[in-house]
Structure 1
């Protein structure tokens, strides 16, 4: 079952790129005691994610943070190397790029999808959520193929 408004973010580890390579980052360190906008994409460097979804958050990062958001994070079922390279290619300096290489976080929040028909295996659905002190206060899951309800502009309306 998918995570719902009011649910806590599961305690687990994701990956970020550190100075010496991939490093663990605990979800508690990301979410506890903070207001976070987390958005998920099916895959780094894929068309909708690269042309529309991530750029919207890059362009609106200052406006989002001005609404009291401590962290804007992007998660995908990709490794930390790919997420780091994608973030750099998109000038996403204000976005915490999170690798969920095995899809453990995505499965834990119940928002995985089968993209094997596209040769991509299990991936994340496209969504965005607002998390306050570790609890989901807003969740917007996209219908297949869309980049609308989870777009930065729509999340700004919810802040």
Structure 2
């Protein structure tokens, strides 16, 4: 069963990609007392993720901040080094925080995984976006397999008051 609007984000430690390497980050520190736009991609450097999904959030960072978003977070089942390299190549500095879900634990805890073994990818996080206010999911957009639309920055921006 997947997480739903009104649910609390599970308490766990994530890995943040930083210029100094991987750094632990608790979900409490990330979400409590703040409004966070979080989006998940199936993989760093993959076509739709690199050409449309991540760039949409980079391009709309100021507009999301103007609507009350304190931080934009990108999560993927990749390691922190890959997430840092992808973020650097996409110019996310100061706009999007790159979070590594290397073992898929966060995606599993949310109930939002899929099996990409047929494509040599193993277990991956589904493509989705959510708004988290003070640790509670207030908006959730889960894409059907192979789709890109409702998890986009533009769609999420339209959902914010």
Q: TM-score normalised by the shorter chain: which range applies?
A: over 0.9
User: CA offsets, 1:22-65, max 9 Å, x none?
Assistant: 11110111100000000000000000100010000000000001
User: CA offsets, 1:87-145, max 9 Å, x none?
Assistant: 01000111010000000000000001000000000000000000100000010000111
Confirm or deny: 8 A CA contact 2:18 2:84 kept in the other structure: no
- DSSP-derived class of the 2:140 partner: strand
**1:10 alignment counterpart:** 10
**1:110 alignment counterpart:** 111
Distance 1:91 1:20, change over 3 A: closer
Q: Aligned partners of 1:21, 1:128: CA distance in 2, in Å?
A: 25
- DSSP-derived class of the 2:30 partner: helix
Q: Aligned partners of 1:156, 1:18: CA distance in 2, in Å?
A: 26
Q: Aligned partners of 2:155, 2:18: CA distance in 1, in Å?
A: 31
**1:123 alignment counterpart:** 124
- DSSP-derived class of the 1:81 partner: helix
The alpha carbon displacement at 1:19 in A equals 4.7
Which residues of structure 2 form unaligned runs of 5+? Answer: none
Structure 1 window deviating more from structure 2 (11-20 vs 115-124): it is 11-20
Confirm or deny: 8 A CA contact 2:36 2:72 kept in the other structure: yes
Q: Aligned partners of 1:43, 1:150: CA distance in 2, in Å?
A: 15
**1:43 alignment counterpart:** 43
Q: TM-score, normalised by structure 1?
A: 0.98
Q: TM-score, normalised by structure 2?
A: 0.97
Matched residue count: 159
Confirm or deny: 8 A CA contact 2:19 2:84 kept in the other structure: no
Distance 1:153 1:18, change over 3 A: closer
**1:63 alignment counterpart:** 63
Q: Aligned partners of 2:112, 2:159: CA distance in 1, in Å?
A: 21
Q: Name the Cα RMSD after superposition.
A: 0.8
Which residues of structure 1 form unaligned runs of 5+? Answer: none
- DSSP-derived class of the 1:22 partner: strand
